[in-house]
Structure 1
């Protein structure tokens, strides 16, 4: 069960990635990558959410490869949008 969505990047891509990294790490997760591409993994309530991202133009394209069955993609997208301020 994968999710794909695009998040707009406002301003410098590095600043957006720093916010995303901080959001993931604040939940005890890992975030690896640069302003071109990377991956992340975080455990929420004992369930893993993991995926990858690529930066294309003014967007961060996110591909969630693993998530809890009952957690909707829209919830993950909403959390990330809020975390990076887009």
Structure 2
């Protein structure tokens, strides 16, 4: 398993962005917990677990993926999340 770190800028309330992120994770039968400041998530993709943490700083959602399958690039995870919360 490897890690990656990326930030997604957003406009509007953090609650709205986090609700979209939570919906994206839960739509894949994952778990999303936390508040408007920080939290964690995990989701299983093709039998492999992706785990991470997030925190919100001003208008930026900062994500740290702590566990992911080696063959899934960080850019794929980042693109998926950006498409779901933008």
Task: Determine if the TM-score, normalized by the shorter chain, exceeds 0.5.
Answer: yes
Distance 1:7 1:49 in 2: 18
Q: How far has the Cα of 1:84 moved from its partner?
A: 0.1
Q: How far has the Cα of 1:9 moved from its partner?
A: 1.7
CA RMSD of superposed structures (Å): 0.5
Q: Which runs of 5+ in 1 are unaligned?
A: none
Structure 2 counterpart of 1:70: 71
Q: Give the TM-score taking structure 2 as reference length.
A: 0.97
* Counterparts of residues 1-80 of structure 1 (less than 5 Å): 1-80=2-81
Structure 1: which 4+ aligned runs deviate by more than 4 Å? none
Q: Number of aligned residue pairs: give it.
A: 85
Question: 2:71 is paired with a residue of what secondary structure?
Answer: coil
Q: Give the TM-score taking structure 1 as reference length.
A: 0.97
Distance 1:17 1:57 in 2: 13
